[in-house]
Amino acid sequence: MMEISELDIPQTYKEKLSSMGYRTLYPPQEDAIEAGLLSGKNLVLAVPTASGKTLIALLAIIKAISERRKALYIVPLKALAEEKFSEMTILGLDVILTTGDYDVTDKRIARHDVVIATCERVDSLLRHSPAFFADFSLVVADEVHLLDSPRRGPTLEVVLTKLKGKQMLALSATIANARDIAEWLNADCITSEWRPVPLRKGVFYDGEIFYPEGEKKIENGDPCVSLAHDTIIEGGQALIFVNTRKSSQALARRIALFFSEKKINSPPLRFSESIYKGELEFLSRFSVSFHHAGLSGEDRRIIEDNFKSARIKALVATPTLAAGVNLPARRVIVRDVRRFERGRSSYIPNLEVQQMLGRAGRPQYDSVGEALLVASSEKEKDGLFDNYINAPIEDITSKLAIEGVLRSHVLSLIASRLISNEEELHAFFSKTFYARQFDIDDVLQNVEKVLIFLEENELVSEFEPTPFGERISQLYIDPESGIILKSALREKMSCIGILHAVCATPDVEGFYLRRGDYETYDAYAQERRGEFLLDVPDYFYEPEKYEIFLSSLKTACILEEWISEIPENDICSRHDIGPGDLYRLRESADWLLYSFSEVARLFKVKRRGIEDVRRRVMYGVSTELLSLVSVRNIGRVRARRLFSFGIKNLEQLREADSSLLSRILGEKIAASIMEELAEGKKGKIGRMKIDTEEEVETEKEKGKATHKEGQMRLEDF
């Protein structure tokens, strides 16, 4: 067995890795070393979860920086970026995390030895400056199987195509056709089935777990409740995947009620003041919780941290968790292998199911990990074995030829001057993963359609970007969004018109109409018809378009409620959404409002109204509170409280007696505000800021916002 001490890396890092628990190499890690990981070779690794991909990446990065080379670490999600940043900070690497502002190209980012970024952030940096990563020689692409994702795959593919020529290290837990990806990246391929904890797969049906090699009896009853209880009494943790949020909450409650009967009790955890607070705290009394995208970031972190520490024993999650942070468990149960999308129910691809099942087995805790599917009939049990347990996973295939996703990437290639004629365009796409898998003429046909679209909408002209096209590419929004925002420009724009314009773009994920919503928002649309900046479809002649219009109007109305200072919990309850949904909507709207303002600037249209709406969305306040919330530690609740006491602007706040502020806000907060006001005399007050989610949503005292680049955006107005 190879030791860390034997590797050709600096002694200081050997000691740090040892202090972090890394001493010997797993077989896949040894294979990577022998394949030339530390000598600059391109490698693609398709190895199971928990078999050591993180250490492989760290070793490659350590070797690179010891040779005065820089490394770029690409991840698909912000949560993973945070996780990797924490690991590398502990190791003592000169690392920076950048996941935020797509319209800022801070050259200071590239001064660090290691840059961790989401794929979209890397793409945006390359759009602003194609040579941004010229000094970087190592590229680590984590979760490279996401090339198969229609949403993220094309961006990852384009980014890796742009960065070809550097040392590539591509990592994934599950790739059927890893050699195809390796050949595309001119890399050696390492595949392995080795796991530190052996994985045992099976199907649960009618009180028994059926494995290929035998059966195991379980107390009969609600399948997932029984399996969770069986796991806990054996000293393990259970992670259960279901297909909807409501299912995750309902199943978690059933498990908790069963655990209460079995006297499985724990001190309750404390959660944020959201619509889920009571339910989460009740469940935590029995070591149970649920996890889905509707939760606030704070609550998700509490749940994840307590599952890692084994304080939470049973966690019911939607599949979004499978693509997020690393949360292994003794037993992983996938209850639902079907999901409803695009108007119909369909089976989840085996690739996704294996990503979930692969989380079974905790290194250093479990001798075996159990990965189970749940059947409701004998026929379904056989089908689950045939389609998932014993079936090969699907090949990764390029999604680059989708015409909709090509719009943005073709525009970026032209706007950043990477291509200037048809020959160069064809040459670039000939280097893509798509060209390796399929007939390049297919994607080029769609590229030609995209070029016509971009020219007709005055984004490009004969392989040259127009000022409009160049700005839209830099803003990192869909060209269709740019066209919509341009068409919405008016000298006079109402608040709801501005909100609706940004919510009508494809870059804002809107909310569907529920039962009764059609009539509500139809009446609202007719009442305020003259305020919309976009054409209102005729509900009689264009019923489908009109329903889409009402959906975007509903989304805009949710934002309007937010800036009208309606409490977050009331908004969430009224529309059956979670605080996480509202936060993501605000985040998307913030960026689109900034983009709308930039389009207005480009076409010399007054943008003050857009900027005011953006600031209101950021803080969730009426116009009269905007000056107060420009001070750190004053959010929507505190600002309204000050206003009600007659302190209505910055001047009155500066003149207010400190004892009065202490009575209104508390002594500690009042002191921090007085200090902030004193600094404001030097020009710091009045800037736009983005507080952390907790500062805006719960008014808790969280101290200074993080200094990691990309977490804050400061814009002067």
Predicted confidence (pLDDT) per residue in 542-600, tens digit:
999 999 999 999 999 999 999 999 999 999 999 999 999 999 999 999 999 999 999 99
* SS3 call for 288: strand
pLDDT 10s digits, 23-53: 999 999 999 999 999 999 999 999 998 899 9
Q: Going from the N-terminus, what domains does the chain have, and what CATH number goes with each?
A: 4-191 (3.40.50.300), 199-389 (3.40.50.300), 400-465 (1.10.10.10), 477-620 (1.10.3380.30), 623-697 (1.10.150.20)
**How far is the C-alpha of 702 from the C-alpha of 693, rounded, in Å?**
10
Comparing CA positions, the residue from 708, 681, 679, 678 lying closest to residue 692 is 708
pLDDT at 323: 67
**How far is the C-alpha of 274 from the C-alpha of 581, rounded, in Å?**
12
pLDDT 10s digits, 366-417: 999 999 999 999 999 999 999 999 999 999 999 998 888 899 999 999 999 9
Q: Where are the beta strands (DSSP E) in 143-263?
A: 167-172, 188-191, 199-205, 208-211, 214-217, 238-241
pLDDT at 324: 65
The type of residue at 178 is: A
Backbone angles phi, psi at 208, to 5 degrees: -135, 145
* CB-count exposure of residue 195 (10 Å: 0-12, 13-18, 19+): buried
Start-to-end CA distance of the chain, whole Å, equals: 61
In the block, residue with structure tokens 């040259």? 464
pLDDT at 680: 65
How sure is the predictor about 78, in pLDDT bands with cuts at 50, 70 and 90? Answer: confident
pLDDT of 686 above 60: no
Q: Where are the beta strands (DSSP E) in 243-392?
A: 288-291, 314-317, 331-334, 338-341, 344-347, 369-374
How big is the chain by its Cα radius of gyration, in Å?
27
Asked if 115 contacts 72 with a C-beta cutoff of 8 angstroms, the reply is: yes
DSSP, res 232: H
Q: How far is CA 57 from CA 142, 181, 355, in A?
A: 9, 18, 20
Comparing CA positions, the residue from 38, 35, 40, 51 lying closest to residue 10 is 38
Q: Helix count (H) and strand count (E) of the chain?
A: 30, 19
Asked if 374 contacts 334 with a C-beta cutoff of 8 angstroms, the reply is: yes
Q: What is the mean pLDDT of residues 529-549?
A: 94
* Antiparallel, parallel or unpaired: β 460-461 and 464-465: antiparallel
pLDDT at 322: 67
pLDDT at 697: 32
Contact residues for 524 (Cβ-Cβ < 8 A; gap 6+): 553, 557
Please state at what angle helix 11-19 crosses helix 78-91, rounded to 10 degrees: 120
**How far is the C-alpha of 606 from the C-alpha of 624, rounded, in Å?**
21
Question: Quick one: tokens of 283?
Answer: 């469940």
**How far is the C-alpha of 412 from the C-alpha of 482, rounded, in Å?**
13
Lowest mean pLDDT segment, chosen from 10-19, 102-111, 425-434: 102-111
* SS3 call for 179: helix
pLDDT 10s digits, 450-504: 999 999 999 999 999 999 999 999 999 999 999 999 999 999 999 999 999 999 9
Question: Quick one: tokens of 301?
Answer: 């972190």
pTM of the model: 0.91
Average model confidence (pLDDT) for the chain? Answer: 91
pLDDT 10s digits, 261-319: 999 999 999 999 999 999 999 999 999 999 999 999 999 999 999 999 999 999 999 98
